[in-house]
Amino acid sequence: MLGRGILRGLVETWRNFQGSYYDPARLTTVQYPEEKLPPQENARTIPFLVYDGDDPMAGLRCTACSICAAECPAHCIHIVKDTAKKPDYLGKMQLQPKVFNIDMAVCMECGICAEVCPFDSIKMDHVFELSSSDPDMVLQKTDLAKSNDYFRKIHPTEAAAVDAARAAEQRKAQAKKEAVPGPSAV
Amino acid sequence: MIAPPPELPPRPAGDPPGHDLLEVALGPHHPSTHGVFRMNVILDGETVVKLTPVFGYLHRNHEKIAEHNSYLAAIPYTDRLDYICSMTNNWAYVLSVEKLAALAVPERAEYIRVIVGELTRLLNHACLAGFLLQDMGALGTPLMYAFREREKILDLFESLSGSRMMCNYLRFGGCRCDLPPGWLKQAAGVVAGFGPFLDHFEALLSENEILRARSQGVGVLPPDLAVNAGVTGPGLRASGVNYDIRKVDQYGLYKRFNFRVPLGGQGDVFDRYMVRILEMRESLKILDQALRDIPNGPVMDPKARLRNLRPKPGEAYGRIESPKGELGFYLVSDGGPNPWRYRVRPPSLVNLTVLEDMCLGHSIADVVIILGSIDIVLGEVDR
């Protein structure tokens, strides 16, 4: 019968319309500005720099090795090394960045910087409401620095693994220091 | 006072056709062109007598950028080729690098690739069916139903890779990270819900008389022309040519899975729509088997190096059956840290070359649905 297919389709539309009032499987979106979904743990938006302790600039994990800047597909990271060194979590003297800028107008949020960083210093953030009236979208290291507590909060699984690995390294370094007498003791 | 228009001279007797042809520029801002694509259509009345595609508006220099970046840094750029199917783009590229550098892939990673690849096929075909029906005048409804299902798959991709569309997930030698806990169960739920969705979607439209009248016998692509033009993917199979790279090359683990390749008989717009619906059902079969059989183990080859990869001088061509057709990457290495030559074989662009042959003799309203049935994404056409 001509028109049977159309009628079947209309029945389907009616069922969907009704279901949209009570069936949770049909409600895949939320009313955004009023209601916000919690971000997934793996979600990534822009990069940030992790620091330990209370002072962001003193506790910055970054050693200005520039691997992230070299691997960045969009070349949006600009690093200048500082001449002064500072001790890292193992007590070793490490370089630190004098300038660490990320141009957010260029960054494509791919997460490769976080993937290649050997010092667990650069990680991907969860913030997403980033529009501002400031036309300069270059973030300095002071803007990028966020505490390890924040990292633990947004990426609990990954942060726990990083903390465990760093604590193990610290214990190893401590044991080595105690086992081998320094040159003055000889 | 407005002057009356000048009187046109009377048409001479025996006026040859083509005397009052009309040239229409469809696009690049036309909503039916799926992006920034322009067609210069020459019409005799409403009938198309010539069609010239104009593209390049979205050219982003993808190949040259990749030649100046490391092998790793090209992966996020491949996401942006066909921005609906970033997972399969990643797959085709990493397959070429794996061939070039002779890297192995752990079994679990191969299973993950099959799963995300087939999920990508589901979301691409669902979107395409929605867009095509939207082009035919079914405004909004089927597209929104398709997008509802796509949303569930995108949630899976987000919890896996961190991003909904620009996944950047596969790596040469495996995958970037293992599946998060509970992901397989969630994926099985989405796959289980997709079959009923397809039933409803087909009940909504496949038997609709208007849809059939609009699409049957329109835009016929003969099989010999399809083969000669290099058309691949569902467009080729709708013309009845049995050619699926998953069966021909059996890349990845596709020889382990039991699935069939749906073929069309007429090669018209309706067949191209139906072949995609049937392909989704076959993808669900593959997904069921893959989600059942996925083993535990590592997801990265321990010998693979992401940074400072310097393959030996040589060349490699890796290709996969992406949802749109044969997606291939041709790489030439001179031993350096970046590819010496990097070339994409985009299915959208090659499939687009037969657009004029399919449109000639049809009305201008049919041009829109013929273009819609080819399934192009301009990010891939223009690169």
Q: Using CB atoms, pick whichever of A9, A16, A42 lies closest to residue B162.
A: A42
The answer to whether the Cβ–Cβ distance between A116 and B306 falls below 8 Å is yes
Number of domains in chain B: 2
- Is residue B149 in a domain? yes
User: Both B35 and B63 in a single domain?
Assistant: no
- Is residue B1 in a domain? no
Q: DSSP assignment, residue B252?
A: T
Paired tokens of B369: 């649905």
Provide mean pLDDT across the span A42-64.
Answer: 85
User: What pLDDT, in 10s, does the model give residues A141-152?
Assistant: 888 888 888 888
- Is residue A30 in a domain? no
- Is residue A67 in a domain? yes
User: Both B246 and B131 in a single domain?
Assistant: yes
User: Both B31 and B172 in a single domain?
Assistant: no
B165 and chain A in contact, CB less than 8 A: no
User: What pLDDT, in 10s, does the model give residues A90-136?
Assistant: 777 888 888 888 888 888 888 899 888 888 889 998 888 888 887 88
User: Both B65 and B86 in a single domain?
Assistant: yes
**Which range marks the domain in which residue A143 is found?**
47-127+135-177
A40 and chain B in contact, CB less than 8 A: yes
- Is residue B226 in a domain? yes
- Is residue A73 in a domain? yes
Chains A & B: contacts with CB separation below 8 Å = 88
The answer to whether the Cβ–Cβ distance between A16 and B145 falls below 8 Å is yes
Q: Is residue B53 a contact partner of residue B33, using CB atoms and an 8 Å limit?
A: no
Residue of A nearest to B205 (CA): A9
User: Both B307 and B283 in a single domain?
Assistant: yes
- Hey, what amino acid is at A116? V
- Laid out side by side, the sheet with B22-26 consists of B22-26, B38-44, B47-54
Q: Is residue B217 a contact partner of residue B268, using CB atoms and an 8 Å limit?
A: yes
User: Both B334 and B253 in a single domain?
Assistant: yes
Distance from CA of B6 to the nearest CA of A (A): 49
- Is residue A41 in a domain? no
CATH number at residue B231: 1.10.645.10
User: Both B130 and B220 in a single domain?
Assistant: yes
Distance from CA of A18 to the nearest CA of B (A): 14
User: Both B111 and B209 in a single domain?
Assistant: yes
A56 and chain B in contact, CB less than 8 A: no
Q: Rg of the Cα trace of chain A?
A: 25
B189 and chain A in contact, CB less than 8 A: no
Contacts of residue A29 in chain B, CB cutoff 8 Å?
Answer: 151
- Residue whose structure tokens are 């200005």: A64
Residues 77-96 in B contacting A (C-alpha not used; CB under 8 Å): 77, 79
Q: Can you tell me the distance from the alpha carbon of A114 to that of B309, in angstroms, rounded to the nearest whole number?
A: 18
Mention every residue, 6+ apart, whose C-beta is less than 8 A from residue B157. B87, B116, B119, B163, B164, B165, B167, B169
Query: What are the Cα distances from residue A53, in Å, to A58, A59, A149?
Result: 8, 6, 9
User: Both B266 and B352 in a single domain?
Assistant: yes
- Is residue B3 in a domain? no
CATH number at residue A158: 3.30.70.3270
Distance from CA of A75 to the nearest CA of B (A): 9
Distance from CA of A10 to the nearest CA of B (A): 7
- Is residue A147 in a domain? yes
**Which range marks the domain in which residue B40 is found?**
22-53
| ipTM confidence | 0.82
Number of domains in chain A: 1
Tens-digit pLDDT profile for chain B (383 aa)? 556 555 555 555 665 555 677 888 887 777 666 778 888 888 887 888 888 888 888 888 889 998 988 888 889 999 888 888 889 999 999 999 998 888 888 889 999 999 999 999 999 999 888 888 888 877 778 888 888 888 889 989 989 988 888 888 998 888 888 888 889 898 999 999 898 888 888 878 777 778 888 888 888 889 999 999 989 989 899 998 999 898 888 888 888 888 889 998 888 898 998 999 999 999 999 999 999 888 888 888 877 788 888 888 989 998 999 999 899 999 999 888 889 999 999 998 998 889 888 888 888 888 888 988 888 888 888 88
Contacts of residue B70 in chain A, CB cutoff 8 Å?
Answer: 70-71
- Is residue A17 in a domain? no
